[in-house]
A and B are shown apart, each in its own frame.
Chain A
Amino acid sequence: DAGITQSPRYKITETGRQVTLMCHQTWSHSYMFWYRQDLGHGLRLIYYSAAADITDKGEVPDGYVVSRSKTENFPLTLESATRSQTSVYFCATMGGATNEKLFFGSGTQLSVL
């Protein structure tokens, strides 16, 4: 019972291909987030969602698309992958007694060749 699960764990793709990273949570938390983590940089927010069918851009949304038809799933799609999108991607949910805690998945390491 992992709570928040990301798949795949590792992905290698080629420039121009479409790639979808999956995120699934079992808590029914309303808020979900996608971040990317690059060496020497802090995590940067790509997109977030306040509830099913409600999504909004974060700091670095260009080249990414998200959807949230169900509360538990929040997939991230790279429509036409570029080498600059090589990164580690983390999905997160927000929960806790006052919605103050962020819970992260284990990440997807994506390489675009």
Chain B
Amino acid sequence: KNQVEQSPQSLIILEGKNCTLQCNYTVSPFSNLRWYKQDTGRGPVSLTIMTFSENTKSNGRYTATLDADTKQSSLHITASQLSDSASYICVVSAGQGWTRAANDMRFGAGTRLTVKP
């Protein structure tokens, strides 16, 4: 069983609408949680990084939340644009410290978001 589960697998919304993507994890001990955006045919690009003590982090129209008690995170996209069409990947790290945690990252399978005009 994957230690990082994302839902939904895919989502279609109309331009201008908001949406929320979910990430549930069982990775332990928890170090940090990242959200990435991956455009088709490109590598993932970092959106947010949150440690245990942070429960929300914003990057423009993207807002990530973290509940370390329930081991859940969400990524909220506000006023969606056509360019938001991409896969969004949740990544959870175990271990201590940034580099040690990087070697122990667990990637979700991603949510494929399509924004239609």
Per the CB 8 Å criterion, the residue count for chain B at the interface is 23
Residues of A within 8 A of B2 (CB): 42
The 0/1 profile, CB within 8 Å of B marked 1, for residues 26-58 of chain A is: 000001010100001111110010100000101
A21 to chain B, nearest CB (A): 13
Q: Are B102 and A90 in touch, CB under 8 angstroms?
A: no
Please state if A92 and B43 are interface contacts (CB–CB under 8 Å): yes
Question: Is B14 located at the chain interface by the 8 A CB criterion?
Answer: no
**B89 and A42 within 8 A (CB):** yes
A42 pairs with B49, CB closer than 8 A? no
- Name the prevailing secondary structure of the A interface residues: strand
Question: In the docked arrangement, what's the CA distance between A90 and B45, Å?
Answer: 12
Q: Are B107 and A104 in contact (CB under 8 A)?
A: no
- Do B102 and A33 touch (CB < 8 A)? yes
The residues of A that contact B106 with a CB separation of less than 8 Å are: 42
8 A-B residue pairings within 8 Å (CB atoms): A42-B109, A42-B110, A48-B102, A90-B44, A92-B43, A100-B98, A103-B46, A107-B42
Binding site for A on B (CB under 8 A): 2, 4, 32, 34, 41-46, 49, 89, 91, 98-99, 102-103, 105-110
Known contacts A42-B110, A106-B42; 17 additional CB pairs below 8 A are: A33-B102, A42-B106, A42-B109, A45-B103, A45-B105, A48-B102, A90-B43, A90-B44, A94-B98, A99-B98, A100-B49, A101-B49, A102-B34, A102-B44, A104-B43, A107-B41, A107-B42
